[in-house]
Amino acid sequence: MDQLFPSVGISVVRIFEKLGHTVDFKESILCCGQPAFNAGFWDESRDIAVRVLQSLSGEGPVVVPSGSCTAMVKNFYPELFRARSEAAVAEQLSRRTFEFSSFLVDQLGVTDLGSRFPARVTFHDGCHGLRELQIKRQPRLLLERVKDLTLVEMEDQTSCCGFGGTFAVKFPMISTAMGETKSASALSTEAEYLVSNDSSCLMHLQGLLNRQNKKLKTVHLAEVLASY
Amino acid sequence: MNEGKREAILGRIREAVRVAAPRPHEGSGRYDSNAIEVPQTSREWLPSVPLDAEGRLNLFREKCSQLRTEFRFLSGQEGAAAALADLRNKQKWTVLGSHHHPMLDPLVQSLGLETLYVEQHPQSKSLERCSVGITACDALIAQTGSILLTARSAGGRALSVLPPHHVVVASVDQLLPDLPAAFELLYEKYGDNYPSFATLITGPSRTGDIERILVLGAHGPRDLTIILLGTNA
Amino acid sequence: MSFTFASKFKIQATKVTADLDHRAKIRAALKSYETARDERKAQYQDWQAARHGAASIKWESLNHLDAYLVDFVTKLSARGTKVFWAGNAQEARDYIVALAKEKRAHTIIKSKTMTSEEIHLNEALRQAGYEVVESDLGEFIVQLRGEAPYHLVFPAMHLTRHEISDLFHEKLHSAPSEHPEELTMIARKELRFKYIQADIGISGANFGIAETGMISITENEGNGRLTTALPKVHVALMGIEKVIPRLSDLALFLPLLATAGTGQQITCYNSLIGGPRQSDEPDGPDEFHLVLLDNNRTQLLADAEQRDALHCIRCGACLNACPIFRNVGGHTYGTTYQGPIGSVITPHLRGLMDWKHLSYASSLCGACTEVCPVKINLHHHLLHNRRNAVASRPDPSERAAFRLFAFLTRYPGLVNRLARISRPLVPFVRVVKPILPAPIKGWLSSRDLPKIARESFRDYWKKR
Ligand code: SF4
């Protein structure tokens, strides 16, 4: 997000500040350790995660604009540190970590941000947000309140886009086939924008769409909500 | 017979389960917000069934029509005999297969056809000649439109599956609400003296193995008829 | 060996994923299933509780498997069943082949059993000189083609009616037909004769009931019933993990299996067999043999973390939901059990190092776990297999890469500067593609790289 999609972070900051909250960004954190974790390298993953635990110590809520990274911290950190000295800290962090859209809707009780985004859009659920965190309702509630925005659901809306981290480069043929199916569903809605709460899915899909010279643009939910 | 292997396998199992696995709600609970209190019976989760007799009968009728089971609710023996005679004529039955049962005997005799009784023809392969197998059953199940029968209640294993048409005759007090009731009945009726075979039949034999398209009469009967007698025969 | 299975998988996957006909065929075949399944699920008063209940029952039986198995076997033996405990595939095969010899059998008819695929029973019997006929329509079709089943529940779902018609024409000399109904009747006629002829019937078992000493067989066609009714000898082959405690548990498992598996409320025939023909019964086999198979199941049982993988009732729902399965197809796995459950258990049954690639061939989307009627934590077990594989033999270059990455995350400032420097290079990456490492090539095969932003979030934050 930092290097490839800074506008997502900027949008998140703008939204919370508009709502009157203060935001802090931990410059010491680069990654949650999920790539190593998913590849089976749990020691290397812990090496990264330990420092995340240290940087994020404290009490306030931690909001992450990616279902996938949220799931890592919220669901997998406790498993990664099970029966280790950091277990309690990991559990504590897990409890106060939230995915961006669910934080807005479930914690702050906000659905209308006064945003305006005049376009026809379709929404892709990142799998981790959807199935690890059961986030499906929240982004839709938020999108429904955006002025001049038309939300069109695509066929097989909950199926995976095929990114899957290192899977995308280890098994590019399968990942591509999945992405093709997904982008075909998105294209057939005739939307102008493909919105998601996960940048990694969008990076994969945008890469495919660009290669196929399609006009459909991908954009993160936060960027839509930060448009006025 | 091979006690050695038995003990070796049981030994491996005992060793393996010394550490208990996380319970379903522990192990996956963290990733699954649907942590659920488990009630005592599956009756509370399965599709619901009306409590009154008429509602059950209607549900059973509806299930039969979805399954393409021919269902006839008739008030007595005479109506049943007429319905069977009708089928005999339409399908040009030549040989019947049946078993002795007080409810079946008068009906089968009234059809006036050559009849193989399984009690006299224990070679089940001879049933291959029959146009129809007529049997009794243990129960009917409203929830699913199923028939519960056993080798003892319905003339063995082959009679209800080998001929191309299976006719079941039952009385209305045999209609049970749901699957839990059916297994309860089986358990209580037979105690420790089970027949070697029981089956739940739900609709005529079917397959979807070619392009997932439904075809009836794959290996078992293509036609299944249930004759339900309104008064106890 | 590891090279062979993994590379075969990749070669086959590359072929099938590019086959758009295959993709469309599988999608079409699953469409009506999905609709029916969702309608059925909606009729449950509480589908989630039903899954949870089923998982709890399976937990109970597996964690006390020794006691339930002993009950089960004692009850069965008391009523004349001959029980054989097979430690591995070889022992099970040898027992059944010896039995065929003892009975002077010629023809053996089988109803659907994946466990017999697991132990390669057909080959063993055929080599010993017996004719073995699969009677389930889908199995009959793939047997004629000399193929393994494509799917746990729908063995011939990859074939069109035209391909089946051609096959029947070639092998059975039947007239070509466009109609699934006519094709089914051709198989029915062919197999009728075999049931009457067969000396031995072989079946599987979906459940074993400890309380009463019975096996339960689920099917739709009636071939299972004929297989267990007509031949003089019936042999059932069952994995040791299939035992459940009570008869009444079936009231939950039977509809759950059907709903998840085929989108039916309950399948057409659900039969219980508790022994050979009893003295007051007109027909049925004179002998009933039950072969109980371990074949490394106890090894999986010993892994408490993944023990729930033995909950599996082989409904096939996780295959149907799996985007990997739908794109690579059932044969690509090269395993008896395809799809997510196959990827989870094959490393336990046949060796982690040979089969770990299946655990990596997943986007971890979790669709399998969501549909599994007995709540197996499938996609997390893929993660566990990956962790175990790394723990026993990590790939050195991958480990180096992740160590470097972990090291770099200590210095976000450095990474920021590196990114700024490499930003102008991104557009040229495709030009130098041939000399890039495999992962980047893999990405570029079908996708463009994302651009590195002019200003990183970090820079933006600093400036504020
Ligand atoms: S793992 Fe679950 S979903 Fe997959 S076949 Fe087994 S029971 Fe069905």
The subunits that touch chain A, with at least 3 C-beta pairs less than 8 Å apart, are B, C
Edge to edge, the sheet with strand B223-229 lists: B70-74, B223-229, B165-171, B132-135, B95-98, B114-117
Q: Is residue A95 located within the same domain as residue A73?
A: yes
B125 to chain C: which residues are within 8 Å by CB?
A: 196, 230
Kindly list the domain boundaries of chain C, sorted by start residue.
1-43+312-393, 60-295, 398-463
Domain housing A47: 6-105
Query: CB–CB of B167/B175 below 8 Å?
Result: no
Task: Residue B220: count other Cβ atoms within 10 Å of its Cβ.
Answer: 28
Distance A218 CA to ligand 1 centre (A): 35
Residue pair C310/C59 in contact (Cβ under 8 Å)? The answer is: no
Residue B89, by phi and psi: left (phi above 0), alpha (psi -120 to 50) or beta? alpha
Which residues of chain C from 441 to 460 reach within 8 Å of chain B, CB to CB? none
Sheet holding A193-196, edge to edge: A147-151, A116-124, A193-196, A217-220
pLDDT score for C1 = 46
Lowest-pLDDT range, B39-43, B120-124, C23-27?
B39-43
Q: In this structure, are residues C266 and B200 in contact, taking their beta carbons and an 8 Å threshold?
A: yes
Picking from A46, A76, A105, the residue at the C-terminal end of a domain is A105
ipTM above 0.85, yes or no: yes
- Lowest-confidence region among C44-58, C199-213, C314-328, C409-423: C409-423
Instruction: Test A75 with B31 for CB contact under 8 angstroms.
Output: yes
CATH code of the domain containing A162: 3.40.50.11810
Rounded-to-integer distance, Cα A157 and Cα A139, Å: 13
> A139: closest CA among A125, A153, A160?
A125
- Same domain, yes or no, for A122 and A196? yes
Q: Average of pLDDT values for C347-365?
A: 94
Angle at the Cα of C264 from the Cα atoms of C262 and C269, rounded to 5 degrees: 95
Q: What's the whole-number average pLDDT of chain C?
A: 92
CB-CB neighbours of A95 under 10 Å: 12
Contact C103, C233 (CB under 8 A): yes
Q: Where are the beta strands (DSSP E) in C161-206?
A: 200-203
| B53, two tokens | 């007799």
> From ligand 1's centre to the CA of C236, what distance in Å?
22
Tokens read off for C136: 């389930």
Show which of A54, A88, A105 is a domain's final residue.
A105
Is B30's CB within 8 Å of A134's CB?
A: no
Element containing residue C233 per DSSP (H, E): strand C233-239
Q: For residue B12, what are its two tokens?
A: 């491996």
Same domain? A122 vs A62: no
Q: Do A145 and A198 belong together in one domain?
A: yes
- Which residue among B123, B152, B208 sits closest to C280, beta carbon to beta carbon? B152
Structural domains of chain B in order of their starting residue, each with its CATH number: 53-229 (3.40.50.10420)
Residue with the bigger pLDDT between B27 and B42: it is B42
Instruction: For residues A23 and A89, state if they share a domain.
Output: yes
pTM, full prediction: 0.94
Q: What is the pLDDT of residue B37?
A: 44
Ligand 1 pocket test, pick from C374, C379, C380 with the greatest ligand atom count within 8 Å of Cβ, gives C374
d(CA A11, CA A225): 8
Overall number of domains in chain A? 2
* B123-150 residue pLDDT tens: 777 898 999 999 999 999 999 999 999 9
Same domain, A202 and A185: yes
pLDDT of C412: 75
Examine residue A48 and state whether it is found in any structural domain, yes or no: yes
Q: Are C116 and C91 in contact (CB under 8 A)?
A: no
pLDDT at C3 over 70: no
Q: How confident is the model at residue C443 (pLDDT cuts 50, 70, 90)?
A: confident
Cα A125 from Cα A123, distance rounded (Å): 7
* Position A1 in a domain: no
DSSP letters spanning C158-189: T--HHHHHHHHHHHH-PPP-S-HHHHHHHHHH
The residues pairing with B216 across neighbouring beta strands, listed in sequence order, are B206
Contact C263, C36 (CB under 8 A): yes
The tokens describing B181, both together, are: 């009731």
Other CB atoms within 10 Å distance of the CB of residue C225 = 28
Query: Does C405 sit within 8 Å of A159, measured CB to CB?
Result: no
CB neighbours of residue C464 within 10 Å: 7
Distance from CA of A36 to the nearest CA of B (A): 20
Question: Which of B147, B159, B224, B200 is closest to C272 using CA atoms?
Answer: B200
Give residues with Cβ within 8 angstroms of B36, minimum separation 6: B25, C48, C49, C52
- Residue C122 tokens, joined: 């057909």
In this prediction, the residues of chain A whose per-residue pLDDT falls under 50 are none
Name the H helices within chain B.
3-16, 24-27, 53-67, 77-91, 105-110, 179-190
Q: Which of C363, C370, C407 to mutate to test the interface with A (most CBs of A within 10 A)?
A: C363
| Index of the ligand 1 atom closest to the CA of residue C378 | 1
* C:128-147 residues touching chain B, CB 8 A cutoff: 135-138, 141
Do B84 and B227 form a contact (C-beta atoms < 8 A)?
A: yes
Whole-number percent of chain B with pLDDT over 70 = 90
Indicate whether A171 belongs to any domain. yes
Do A141 and A99 lie in a common domain? no
Report the gap between the CA of B89 and the closest CA in chain A (Å): 51
Q: What's residue C205's pLDDT?
A: 98
Residue C167, classed as helix, strand or coil, is helix
Q: What percent of chain C has pLDDT over 90?
A: 81
Q: What is the mean pLDDT of residues B163-181?
A: 96
A180/A117 same-domain check: yes
pLDDT at C179 over 90: yes
Q: What are phi and psi of C448, to 5 degrees?
A: -85, 155
In the prediction, which pLDDT does A220 show? 94
My answer on whether A101 and A156 are in the same domain is: no
Contact C52 B36 (CB under 8 A): yes
Task: Flag whether pLDDT at B227 surpasses 90.
Answer: yes
Ramachandran bin of A148, using left for φ above 0, alpha for ψ from -120 to 50, beta for the remaining angles = left
pLDDT tens digits along A183-207: 999 999 999 999 999 988 999 999 8
Check whether C418 has a pLDDT greater than 70.
yes
pLDDT beyond 60 at B31: no
Instruction: Out of A57, A72, A105, pick the residue that ends a domain.
Output: A105
| pLDDT band per the 50, 70, 90 thresholds, residue C434 | low
Contact A38/C383, CB-based, under 8 Å? Answer: yes
Same domain assignment for residues A184 and A154:
yes
Containing C304, the helix (H) or strand (E) segment is none
Q: Is the pLDDT of residue B26 over 60?
A: no
Average pLDDT estimate for C285-312: 97
Asked if the model's pLDDT at residue B194 lies above 70, the reply is yes
pLDDT range class, residue B34, cuts 50, 70, 90:
very low
Inspect the interface and report whether the beta carbons of B31 and A132 lie closer than 8 Å. yes
Q: Could you say which architecture CATH assigns to the domain C60-295?
A: 3-Layer(aba) Sandwich (3.40)
| A142 and A82 belong to one structural domain | no
pLDDT in tens, C197-221: 999 999 999 999 999 999 999 999 9
| A69 touches A32 (CB < 8 A) | yes
Chains that touch C (3 or more CB pairs under 8 A): A, B
Instruction: Give me the mean pLDDT over the C242-266 stretch.
Output: 96
List pocket residues of ligand 1, CB cut-off 6 Å.
Answer: C 260, 312-318, 341, 371-374, 376, 378
